[in-house]
Structure 1
């Protein structure tokens, strides 16, 4: 009997120690309260206070996020936090230790911790925070410490608007009145960027829901009105792709814009809102130049926010988030951003077609395709998505942006489906109904299966096997001809495979190019090509005009203070140009109208 009692006691001890974080959170279900104020906004500081209750005995961990929704790299937000003080329910100061660079441990509390700290914030974009005399631009992971054990708690926050200001609060958080707002848990709270400023507000209703735009800018109401009409056209054209808007959590979606001189150009999607930042004012080209980001981010309220890769759910705020689906989540969204603007009548069809050229050449002439397929390019996001490093890297040769690569794959799939009497819009609608509306997070295999279901197994498997699991180039020449677009290469012209500034090579030479094969490298200074001595005013294009592909020429260059000479056999220029056929057949006209026309 004694042995049995001892065994049961040990089992109880083990089970108690194995209590899951979910069980802890269930015990701690309550409200975490935050308050933020901006008395020292002139020096970019915010003062944050928080109260956490129902805490388990012992040390309690508090953290700053290391990543942010919509970004995939590490961002050490803790570096901007100081003056951290914690007290218990009676106001007694508590001991704080630092187990690592991004967390704090508070000891000997009584189940309640009152926290206060100062945040330095001066980077206004889609990831960081910015506080100054004109606004408080808050991305929540960059702003608020949190208690991981209370991740399922309700959260209430009060934004203390400076006295005498005209500041208002724009956020997807649920309003409670008196500048107080609510989030149902930590995930929603950290996914809810907030702009507090004297912004302008516009709104319109679509099928019983409200689309809003809060804009902090230095322009006029009339400029905003013009811009807002364009935004509405984008919203309606994207709704037409999916057949409906998502069901927003509180019946509202809000664009939060900061078009001010000290912002950093960016855009970042969130569940029921998006952050839009730009230094370009509406009066200075922003009406045309900023609308692309609006289009991209709004498409995300379907594709990525609700049509959600399984690899990104739930989002992990403590580490980098890697996904092999970004060619679809970000890339297909990139395909639709300019396509939407064209369908909305904000860009001409000819300008749209010409605008494809830069991305087309970047993707299909990149040596990166021999190293990684689109899935593996997506895996690179934690190293490139606003990530920083000080060592030299070879991304010129090994990386193609999953935004660009995916947009070209979206273009290829759309034109290929249209050849079958189908289209990408209806495929996206099927993806939406299968995975987005049902909150069923998808995998790459799911996308392959759904394309098989939509277009047939032979078509779907061929597309994925050639262009997703491998890195082959679709037959764009044939695809473009169906919509009256001519694709050609100017192979009569020679090419070096390098980029120069003041005759110095400024990036790694392209793998397989004439310059790379000749042994030229970044940092080399060209001093002579064939018989032509170079100076800072020499025009490389004019020199190339006198040479031919496959011609071998002498190149003199300086490296580390010494002069060298090599023989280089010139490449043919493989860059592409796009233009409309001089005359379009009736089928071409119909195909193009169906592709680029308003829905």
Structure 2
């Protein structure tokens, strides 16, 4: 359990101000207390809690200087891009620097005259010797812009807040703006907790009230899954929603808060399109924040953090995302069934399962989780998102358990009681063992041996039938294996084993004609293939690097599955479905 008592040592003190917000700058002062070391190593983080790829935050820091207690300028040595070394510090060391920030999401910071949206690792330097030190920070807010502070940090007075250490501080994003706020109280185990929703948006009070009603239903539906709320520090959980035009779509979980960002405001589509992120991120306050992979503890700010458990931490959370919306009445059972299609087809029609199981897909996170690269990659054939993979496995596990009179909710409760509530980080073996205790060793061994340690596909036909979902493929619908843009160019790597792959087509090829029929605005690929059937062999004329080529392509049946709600399911099956979707 995280101790919230400030240690007896002197805290690291920060002050941040925003005089030049119009140009996306913040001025930061950091005071590092006395050190017995002969040098003080100050760094910017290279990673951020909840993100698994490297993010070089030092690139947005400049104008760095340092002085001692007596005001003497101290020499700064640079041995690497993300560290500043101050030799022979005497007494407290004060560091001044400027931060540029103009990306509003769950990782970076954004500063302008509408808000200061701060993710702490992207904003504040730290001393490697003082990661266990307490922290105090004063936000010098723009009173002329009516700014207010919203954060999970402990309020000391006015705009000064504190954290017990840097693990907590860097996990505490802060929104400073002229925001609106709504809150309600939830009782759990005899204790009242405040759930507050902070909104930076131009939405009317009426729209915010409507949205907040959905948020409340989601909170209560997720509480039902685990049977109780987490014991939130300081008795409060805060949603930090920033739905403004210059924000980037994102969501990021934290211990007692979550960041929600999107360019769509509530009156511009956000009322419907943003609510799924609310469901997903709030579920994380149990699953990943407290029910936490051992491989992510403690979080290391100096490197990429890798875990083989993301299929569970992120994937099972993704499974519950839309299920909770259905249980909370935000979407209908019909909409829920429809929502499964995209993820299901993405996972089970991917050739990537031939290369990696869900654990190994999780290991790929440092390369894909908001990571950037300039060299082309072959993700279409080698990677399945652990969010999606884990989501359809969570679905399979839930429906399989329900065939045996059990359910995933109670398995999650058991994990919560054994690991999460005690904040005892888990391993994959713990997940396997707990499922054995809950559902029996043969059941658990079958699930983990087939679907986690290997990449086999569960019997979804039987599972969907048990809850009255139709599940089928159109064997007469043709499939080429390539997709083109308006210029008839193949825009993505073709999937291994598809007709296009076998025909030797590749990304960047421009389809010129099919069976000697030239393609144009009136003669599209779809029109040319309209009378073709499965098994037909077509001649594809295409251009590659300006050279005209020709190949034969054999049409196969479309591998896409269609999942929908069966309105005519038997009453017994309907009741089974209702027990699942209206738990």
Q: TM-score, normalised by structure 2?
A: 0.97
Q: CA deviation at 1:164?
A: 2.4
Which stretch shows the higher mean deviation, 106-115 or 165-174?
106-115
Q: CA deviation at 1:286?
A: 1.2
Q: CA deviation at 1:568?
A: 1.3
| Cα distance in 2 for residues equivalent to 1:459 and 1:593 | 24
Residue-by-residue CA offset, 1:465-512 (whole Å, 9 max, x unaligned) = 111011111110110011111100012122111121121110111100
Indicate which of 18, 42, 61 corresponds to 1:38. 18
For residue 88 of structure 1, what is the aligned residue in structure 2?
68
Q: CA deviation at 1:27?
A: 11
| Cα distance in 2 for residues equivalent to 1:545 and 1:359 | 27
Indicate which of 472, 480, 483 corresponds to 1:499. 483
For residue 366 of structure 1, what is the aligned residue in structure 2?
350
Residue-by-residue CA offset, 1:220-252 (whole Å, 9 max, x unaligned) = 111111111110000000000000000011110
Q: CA deviation at 1:537?
A: 4.8
| CA shift in 2, pair 1:219/1:65, >3 Å | same
| CA shift in 2, pair 1:559/1:159, >3 Å | same
Alignment of 1:552-567 (within 5 A): 552-567=537-552
For residue 78 of structure 1, what is the aligned residue in structure 2?
58
For residue 459 of structure 1, what is the aligned residue in structure 2?
443
The SS at the match of 2:576 is: helix
Indicate which of 379, 395, 412 corresponds to 2:396. 412
Q: CA deviation at 1:541?
A: 2.6
Which stretch shows the higher mean deviation, 213-222 or 135-144?
213-222
Residue pair 2:40, 2:86 contacting (<8 A) in 1 also = yes
| Cα distance in 2 for residues equivalent to 1:582 and 1:332 | 27
Residue pair 1:41, 1:133 contacting (<8 A) in 2 also = yes
Q: Is the aligned partner of 1:192 residue 2:172?
A: yes
Q: CA deviation at 1:165?
A: 2.8
Indicate which of 200, 208, 226 corresponds to 1:224. 208
| Cα distance in 1 for residues equivalent to 2:521 and 2:363 | 40
Q: CA deviation at 1:54?
A: 2.0
Residue pair 1:29, 1:150 contacting (<8 A) in 2 also = no
| Cα distance in 2 for residues equivalent to 1:285 and 1:332 | 27
For residue 522 of structure 1, what is the aligned residue in structure 2?
507
| Cα distance in 1 for residues equivalent to 2:422 and 2:526 | 55
Gaps of 5+ in 1: 1-25
Q: CA deviation at 1:28?
A: 9.7
| Cα distance in 1 for residues equivalent to 2:164 and 2:435 | 36
For residue 588 of structure 1, what is the aligned residue in structure 2?
573
Q: Is the aligned partner of 1:119 residue 2:103?
A: no
The SS at the match of 2:312 is: helix
Alignment of 1:144-163 (within 5 A): 144-163=124-143
Q: Is the aligned partner of 1:549 residue 2:530?
A: no
| Cα distance in 2 for residues equivalent to 1:27 and 1:385 | 35
For residue 412 of structure 2, what is the aligned residue in structure 1?
428
| Cα distance in 2 for residues equivalent to 1:27 and 1:130 | 32
Residue pair 1:138, 1:194 contacting (<8 A) in 2 also = yes
Indicate which of 413, 419, 424 corresponds to 1:440. 424
For residue 269 of structure 2, what is the aligned residue in structure 1?
285
For residue 18 of structure 1, what is the aligned residue in structure 2?
none
Alignment of 1:42-57 (within 5 A): 42-57=22-37
Q: CA deviation at 1:328?
A: 0.3
Q: CA deviation at 1:582?
A: 4.3
Residue pair 2:22, 2:113 contacting (<8 A) in 1 also = yes
Alignment of 1:160-309 (within 5 A): 160-207=140-187, 208-309=192-293
What do you get for the CA RMSD once the two structures are aligned? 1.3
The SS at the match of 2:224 is: helix
| Cα distance in 1 for residues equivalent to 2:295 and 2:243 | 33
Residue-by-residue CA offset, 1:133-155 (whole Å, 9 max, x unaligned) = 01100000000000010111110
Residue pair 1:170, 1:256 contacting (<8 A) in 2 also = yes
Residue pair 1:57, 1:111 contacting (<8 A) in 2 also = no
Residue pair 1:29, 1:152 contacting (<8 A) in 2 also = no
How many residues are paired up?
A: 573
Q: Is the aligned partner of 1:67 residue 2:51?
A: no
Q: Between Structure 1 and Structure 2, whose CA radius of gyration is higher?
A: 1
Residue pair 2:113, 2:145 contacting (<8 A) in 1 also = no
Residue-by-residue CA offset, 1:110-162 (whole Å, 9 max, x unaligned) = 03101110000000000000000011000000000000101111100000012
Q: TM-score, normalised by structure 1?
A: 0.94
| Cα distance in 2 for residues equivalent to 1:546 and 1:106 | 74
| Cα distance in 2 for residues equivalent to 1:163 and 1:298 | 31
Q: CA deviation at 1:588?
A: 1.1
For residue 9 of structure 1, what is the aligned residue in structure 2?
none
The SS at the match of 2:410 is: helix
For residue 105 of structure 1, what is the aligned residue in structure 2?
85
Residue pair 2:34, 2:90 contacting (<8 A) in 1 also = no
| CA shift in 2, pair 1:537/1:379, >3 Å | farther
Q: Is the aligned partner of 1:335 residue 2:335?
A: no
The SS at the match of 1:99 is: coil
Q: CA deviation at 1:553?
A: 1.5
Indicate which of 107, 110, 113 corresponds to 1:130. 110
| CA shift in 2, pair 1:484/1:27, >3 Å | closer
Q: Is the aligned partner of 1:513 residue 2:502?
A: no
Residue pair 2:481, 2:499 contacting (<8 A) in 1 also = yes
Q: CA deviation at 1:534?
A: 1.1
For residue 578 of structure 1, what is the aligned residue in structure 2?
563
Residue pair 2:514, 2:540 contacting (<8 A) in 1 also = yes
Q: CA deviation at 1:566?
A: 1.1
| Cα distance in 2 for residues equivalent to 1:169 and 1:78 | 25
| Cα distance in 2 for residues equivalent to 1:29 and 1:180 | 18
The SS at the match of 1:363 is: helix
For residue 3 of structure 2, what is the aligned residue in structure 1?
none
Q: CA deviation at 1:536?
A: 4.6
| Cα distance in 2 for residues equivalent to 1:536 and 1:159 | 58
Q: CA deviation at 1:379?
A: 0.4
Residue pair 1:508, 1:522 contacting (<8 A) in 2 also = yes
Residue pair 1:57, 1:110 contacting (<8 A) in 2 also = no
Gaps of 5+ in 2: 1-5
Alignment of 1:378-389 (within 5 A): 378-389=362-373
The SS at the match of 1:314 is: coil
| Cα distance in 2 for residues equivalent to 1:437 and 1:318 | 28
